[in-house]
Amino acid sequence: MIPQEIIRRKRDGEALAADEIAFLIRGLVSGAVTEGQAAAFAMAVFFQGMSMDERVALTRAMVDSGVTMVWPDLDGPVLDKHSTGGIGDNVSLMLAPAVAACGGFVPMISGRGLGHTGGTLDKLDSIPGYASQPDSELFRKVVAEIGCAIIGQTADLAPADKRLYGIRDVTATVESIPLITASILSKKLAAGLEGLVMDVKTGNGAFMDSFEGSAELAESLAEVATGAGLPTTALITAMDQPLASAAGNAVEVRNAVRYLTGEHRDERLHEVVVALGGEMLLLGDLAESVEDGWARIDGAIQSGQAAEIFGRMVAALGGPVDFVSRVDDHLPAAPVRREIRAGRAGFVSAIDTRGIGVAVVGLGGGRTRPQDAVDHAVGFTELASLGQRLEPDALIGVVHARTENAVDAAAAALTRAYALGDEAPEPSPAVLARFAAESAGP
């Protein structure tokens, strides 16, 4: 086979055979396929798309480019969740230990921030000593003994994805649904999962801002994952406002600990955690129905079991043993803090969620280049929610910054992000839709 002929056929809209796709992916890893050829292939897929069979073949080829983990000694199902990214989305920090408390095992391989959205690994890196990229032996040990471990992608899991993503990132092909599907699912299949729940965001803070685009992606993920042997359910959740009342890294970790201990729980955040957890338990045969799964997840959180497992996971991966009980002593804090007031009475009628994410990046809490360091201390807290009634002196949020100049810019961005009106907008649920392939569950 010749790479340029395969690329030409896809460029012209033809369907590729599984062995042609596998040939390209093997060549991408070995170097036989050049970066220019990989970029041309990605652009051809971007414009011509892929059938479901092609997407399954691409996903399997990327899984086969590295090792696949197996979990023969666990006495429960191996489950995971993945989010397409949002603002204030710290769900993983609560969800993994809650599912573990219900009998599941969660080897969660997460990513760093991308564009205006936050990344779970950047949040965890704010915890002193936490090994977000441990060796496979420690990873396996923590999953087996604690029930969950949240880490980053290792070099031997789906290496083709790492190389192809780097090419897509600089060739304006990130948004391709077939390529997004294969990128996400190849890592999850390589982790040896038995069930996966996808959290596909929609709204002005999501990569897919239209419901139609999010629905297309959700359907693709559920169909391709199940076709590749991984039962998967996808939920579409709203990202028209920050999910938590905090946005940043350490501030979201602090928010997660307060949630787990019961000190403070954001209502919509809890709705999404419980919804995703119930689906995970259903896929793992740990619940008789999704409603039963919701009740079990809620019980694990309310009882404090999830908080206890989270603390044990942090300690097992090198973090402080008293992290949950002394979270404020361990997390970094920004030196400049400013409260931002509404300035007028009214209801929060709209929030520029993407603008808040961009402001976090501007504070140093994200990256504009891959090599940039992240300031884990900066961000926003006490963010007002959509529909909330505010008086002139009420907070729309608190800025945590490194300098006075930075806090000035962030305060202006936060003020621009909030629109106040005389009437409350119509309330809407946090979970908007559900997609499941036939063999993925009822």
Domains of the chain: 3-49 (1.20.970.10), 79-326+430-440 (3.40.1030.10), 333-421 (3.90.1170.30)
Q: Which helix (H) or strand (E) holds 122?
A: helix 120-124
pTM, rounded to two decimals: 0.90
pLDDT band for position 116 (50/70/90)?
low
Q: What is the pLDDT of residue 371?
A: 60
Interval 379-384 mean pLDDT: 98
- pLDDT higher than 80, residue 119: no
pLDDT band at residue 73 under the 50/70/90 scheme: confident
Active-site positions read 80-83, 120, 168, 183, 187-188
Q: Which two tokens stand for residue 186?
A: 């190849």
How does the average pLDDT of the chain come out, rounded?
A: 92
What DSSP string runs through 189-229? HHTT-SEEEEEEEESTTSSS-SHHHHHHHHHHHHHHHHHTT
Q: Which residues pair with 247 in a beta bridge?
A: 380
Per the CB < 8 A criterion, the answer to whether 96 and 316 are in contact is no
Sign of CA dihedral 39, 44, 47, 52: negative
Is residue 85 predicted with pLDDT exceeding 90? no
**pLDDT value at 440 more than 50:** no
Structure tokens at 289: 């129905």
- The size of the chain, in residues, is 442
pLDDT for the residue numbered 441: 39
Mean pLDDT of 399-408: 95
pLDDT value at 380 more than 60: yes
pLDDT 10s digits, 289-345: 999 999 999 999 999 999 999 999 999 999 999 999 999 999 999 999 999 999 999
Pairwise pLDDT comparison (357 vs 162), residue with the higher score: 357
Sequence-ordered strand ranges (E) for 50-147: 79-83, 106-110
The tally of CA atoms less than 13 A away on the side-chain side of residue 18 is 9
Residue 397, pLDDT above cutoff 50: yes
* pLDDT above 60: residue 258: yes
pLDDT computed for residue 283 by the predictor: 96
- Residue 148's pLDDT is 97
User: Using CA atoms, how far apart are residues 432 and 430, in angstroms rounded to an integer?
Assistant: 6
Tokens read off for 432? 């908007």
The arithmetic mean of pLDDT across residues 209-234, rounded, is: 91
Q: What is the pLDDT of residue 40?
A: 96
Other residues' Cβ atoms within 10 Å of the Cβ of residue 405: 10
pLDDT tens per residue across span 343-360: 999 999 999 999 999 999
User: With bands split at pLDDT 50, 70 and 90, how would you rate the model's confidence at 368?
Assistant: low
- Buried/exposed code over 101-113 (b: 16+ C-beta within 10 A; e: otherwise): bbbbbbbbbbbbb
pLDDT category at 114 given cuts 50, 70, 90 is low
Strand order in the sheet with 379-381: 247-248, 379-381, 395-401, 336-341
Give the residue-averaged pLDDT of 414-418.
97
Q: For 104-116, what is the mean pLDDT?
A: 77
